Amino acid sequence: MSASLTLSFSLSVWLALKVALIAGGGSPEENEQSHFTHIHSLKVALEAMGVSPADITIFWADGLDEGLDRRLPPPAPDPLEWTTAHTPWQLWFERAPALTDTRWDHKAVYPAKREPLRAWLRSASAPLKAGDTLLLAVTDHGRPDPKGGWRTAVELWGETLGVEALYEDLKVVPPGVRVQLWMSQCFSGGFAQLSMLDPRVCGAFSAEAQRPAYGCFTALRGAGDEGDEGAKGHFMQLLKAFKRTGRLDLASDAAMEHDDTPDTPHLSSDAFVQRLTRERAEALGVPVAYLVDTAIPSPKRLTPEQRRWAQRISRLTHRFAIGSVHSFGRAHETLEEVQSLRYTLEAWLAKWSQLSQEAKLRLLSESPVDGAPPEPIADRRRGRVRLTRWLKDALRAGAEGRRGLLKELQQKLERAEALMDRLYTLEALALRLETLYTRLAAEGLLAPPDLALWQGLRECERAQLLKPLGGAAPEGELPDSLSAPVGAPHLSELRAEVEALRPGSLGVQFRERARGKLAEVVEVGYGSPGWALDVRPGDAISWVDGRRLSYSGQLREQIALYPIGEDLPLKRRRDGQERLLHLPVVGAQLSPAPPKRGDQVPPLSLEPIFEGEALDYLFTGGRPSLLFFWATWCEPCLKAAPRVHAWAKRHDLQVLAITSEDARLVRAVLGATQLPFPALHDPGREASRLFHVDLQVTQAPVFVYLDVERRLIEQGIGMGKEGPAQIEALLVDPPK
């Protein structure tokens, strides 16, 4: 053991360490098992590493109250549950979440609310002196900044704690006392800003300020609640590495390398240099990649610490099978490539999801039980048994017909979801590589005053808090293998797999007639196979691939599932004459990519539906805007309008109602009863395509929230408790 390491261990005996473990969870239904797993595991580890239980305080949900405060892991899903997912029949298989009251074998347990936390900060900080450490570990839900910035928040028990609020609360900490944050909630990176407000504060974060953490991603939602899944993610990897090293910087870097979830682990010092680099690049008008890559030292001039970072970059690229990434610029290109693949896959996933949903609804419409289960438990059980028996018989019908197609559609959907998980992880990997390359370039990027601040944060992160379990762990601990995870396809293979999921298309739009037994052509794309073989609007299709059309959606399903490049036989009827055509199936076309969160939305070509309405086409009226996509036939849209109006008025939002229906039809349907906000016509579906709005699919209003500079902040479908879903959580009702 080196002399410096021996000194660090001896100092840790008399330098004080006070710890607060925080998990609010919001409410019993939202407080997940993984929160308890994380807090309990960290408590046990700290005590094993020599921290006195008297120096550990837990802020948990409702504290020691006897009320329900935690949701238990759900039971294993029924094997047939997929057949009813996202349909009214899913209620037959759903079970109410089991809630419990958490019991602690620890004396210092308080409610996870701001006031008890403030009181603890005052009492715990009073005896501390320069060199001591205050550790705040947070595993919880998080809220993003409504404006897309760094002002994020932690979800406590029935309340929130924002970045600026925590900054104010930390002012009671005496000068010279180090404050370390371990934060794993969604959007946790916003709290890295505390280091720029108070240089004594450093920390490790699971995600950037505009990014959710593991468990909040669409494809992974809920995965952190079941059994061992609760032990996955950045927080548990950080704890595992901390037990081997006793240092935050080494633990965070190890988590960055070994965590295979979509988390983006980084340190306060990383967030600091990345922010300054972005600002400098904007000021100079040059790409960030140019600044970073020109500031990275040559391999021969790397310090031992920088060499470890560079080796970690190489190990990451090999472990995650993406090939050589030799610069920040190449890491950014990889990020853009993965995001492009993800956008493409999202389009195919939406298509297979829509087709699968329609097929399930058709199948379940023949079910012996209604979609809404009765309240009596006995009747519900009998109905579930009848539904289960019927579904087994229906799915046993073989590969032909609508039931067989449902299985094929489900297989496409499941494969797309599995690939989406992989792409989320690779996207996170590219962001981690960018972080490490920026760190390598820090000394060449930062001006002397900023470099001194960065080095101060690095010292805070390097502090030897505790002695590693089992003895000292070398700083440059190297793995014995570079093997990639079993079954993980290479990035080049992912491109082919995503392309293989592209649905088939004929470039022809149909309108179903006679309950799906006839398809009328309504539009033929220029240059498409249908156009080349003289398929015209008004033509009728009644036979495809050797079978008569017999049910709604059959033609769409067969075209989508047909191998691309092969000829699909169908019979076209025109003027009473039928003709057999063989149309080559081509891949479905990809719509333009929608703006990302934080991107500025361009002005839209919208027209007023009612004369005399004063409209702000550019959404620059000094207030945030809420785009409300609706249709006259969409009953949930019309019912939502008054509630949206009241909610938007409370938050001083400008609401613009957008529909692609013909303006004359809208005026005829609404008559003199206009909507409570300006109504705009989207004649070319420009706005709908830009935000991928399809009310036929959602069957509910779609909302888009833009800030005062027309930047996209959030998008949601349907209504929540008070306002638009996913958007209402960003805004808190003003006090009455």
pLDDT of residue 473: 53
- Global pTM exceeds 0.85: no
- Does 253 lie in the same domain as 327? yes
Question: Which residue is it, tokens 């240089």?
Answer: 199
Q: pLDDT band for position 551 (50/70/90)? A: confident
Q: What is the CATH number of the domain that holds 692?
A: 3.40.30.10
3-state secondary structure of 326: coil
- Does 674 lie in the same domain as 561? no
- Does 392 lie in the same domain as 273? no
CB atoms within 10 A of CB 163: 20
First to last CA, the chain: 63
> Could you give the percent of the chain with pLDDT greater than 70?
88
pLDDT (mean) for 56-81: 90
- Does 523 lie in the same domain as 671? no
Task: Give dist(CA 282, CA 280) in Å, integer.
Answer: 5
Q: Assess if residue 735 is contained within a domain.
A: no
Chain center to CA of 704: 17
pLDDT surpasses 70 at 8:
no
- Does 26 lie in the same domain as 168? yes
pLDDT of residue 601: 85
Q: Assess if residue 480 is contained within a domain.
A: no
pLDDT of residue 296: 95
Residue where one domain finishes, among candidates 422, 449, 478: 422
pLDDT surpasses 60 at 724:
yes
Strands (E), 289-411: none
Q: Assess if residue 8 is contained within a domain.
A: no
Question: Which residue is it, tokens 């989406």?
Answer: 420
Task: Give dist(CA 119, CA 114) in Å, integer.
Answer: 9
pLDDT of residue 735: 53
Yes or no: say if 99 and 93 are a contact pair by the CB < 8 Å rule: no
Domain extent for 140: 15-331+423-462
Across 33-47, 72-86, 686-700, least confident range = 686-700
- Does 722 lie in the same domain as 613? yes
pLDDT surpasses 60 at 1:
no
DSSP category for residue 147: T
pLDDT of residue 586: 93
pLDDT surpasses 80 at 135:
yes
Q: What is the CATH number of the domain that holds 529?
A: 2.30.42.10
- Does 23 lie in the same domain as 137? yes
Q: Assess if residue 9 is contained within a domain.
A: no
Q: Assess if residue 724 is contained within a domain.
A: yes
Q: Assess if residue 709 is contained within a domain.
A: yes
- Does 40 lie in the same domain as 145? yes
pLDDT of residue 120: 97
Q: Which two tokens stand for residue 404?
A: 């067989």
Chain center to CA of 576: 53
Element (H, E) at 20: strand 17-23
Yes or no: say if 374 and 351 are a contact pair by the CB < 8 Å rule: no
Q: What is the CATH number of the domain that holds 454?
A: 3.40.50.1460
Q: pLDDT band for position 5 (50/70/90)? A: very low
Q: pLDDT band for position 220 (50/70/90)? A: very low
pLDDT of residue 475: 54
Task: Give dist(CA 411, CA 417) in Å, integer.
Answer: 10
Q: Please write the tens of the pLDDT for every residue from 455-493.
A: 999 999 999 999 898 765 555 555 555 555 545 667 888
Higher pLDDT, 354 or 266: 266
- Does 570 lie in the same domain as 677? no
Q: Please write the tens of the pLDDT for every residue from 234-253.
A: 888 899 999 999 999 999 99
Q: Please write the tens of the pLDDT for every residue from 302-360.
A: 999 999 999 999 999 888 888 788 899 999 999 999 988 988 888 888 788 878 888 88
Q: Which two tokens stand for residue 157?
A: 């028990």
- Does 58 lie in the same domain as 22? yes
User: Which of 166, 164, 160 has its CA nearest to residue 186?
Assistant: 160
pLDDT (mean) for 553-567: 90
> Could you give the percent of the chain with pLDDT greater than 90?
47
Q: pLDDT band for position 595 (50/70/90)? A: confident
pLDDT of residue 250: 94
Q: Assess if residue 39 is contained within a domain.
A: yes
Residue where one domain finishes, among candidates 558, 587, 616: 587
Across 42-56, 244-258, 606-620, 722-736, least confident range = 606-620
Q: Assess if residue 612 is contained within a domain.
A: yes
pLDDT of residue 76: 80
- Does 123 lie in the same domain as 267? yes
Mean pLDDT score of the chain: 85
Q: Which two tokens stand for residue 532?
A: 């080349």
Residue where one domain finishes, among candidates 422, 454, 486: 422
When divided into structural domains, the chain yields a total of: 4
Q: Kindly list the distances between the CA atom of residue 725 and the CA atoms of 348, 715, 721, in Å, as whole numbers in the listed order.
A: 24, 8, 8
Radius of gyration of the chain (CA): 29
CB atoms within 10 A of CB 717: 17
- Does 695 lie in the same domain as 678? yes
